[in-house]
Amino acid sequence: MEAFIRFQLTKDGIFYCGIDPDFNVLPLILNHFKNRYADQQWIIYDLKRQYGLYYNLDEVEEITIELQEGTIKNREQYQFSEQEDLYAKLWKDYFKSTNIVARKNTKLHIKHVPKRYWKYLTEKQG
């Protein structure tokens, strides 16, 4: 799951990622993100279990957010930073430019990156 997290910067300066994993993995990935992203505030929110982890540069807290249906999908409602569209375009361009068409192996790719996670991967959108 650590490889499938794609944070987006909110207008209030917190990096956010919503996920819906098959299992309750937040306690298992907590230390990885606390250590790797210790210099920024972030939230990883399990949409299926309706709770998340919030790191405030000091400690990780378990949180819940009252979300209306479709809130995360609607960028304007959630208030992502205006720069997020540019970062998404740059990320997609990077993946496109490093792709080697002759080495495409869809079966292996799906084995390593299951389709159920594609909806959260910036490089797989539009």
Q: Which domain holds residue 52?
A: 2-124
pLDDT reading at 75 higher than 50: no
Write down the pLDDT at residue 122: 85
Write down the pLDDT at residue 68: 65
Write down the pLDDT at residue 17: 93
pLDDT reading at 119 higher than 90: no
pLDDT reading at 74 higher than 70: no
Write down the pLDDT at residue 72: 53
- Whole-prediction pTM value? 0.79
Could you give the number of structural domains in the chain?
Answer: 1
Contacts 24+ apart (CB under 8 A), 43-50: 43/14, 43/15, 43/16, 43/17, 44/5, 44/17, 44/19, 45/16, 45/17, 45/18, 45/19, 46/19, 46/20, 46/21, 47/18, 47/19, 47/20, 47/72, 48/20, 48/21, 49/24
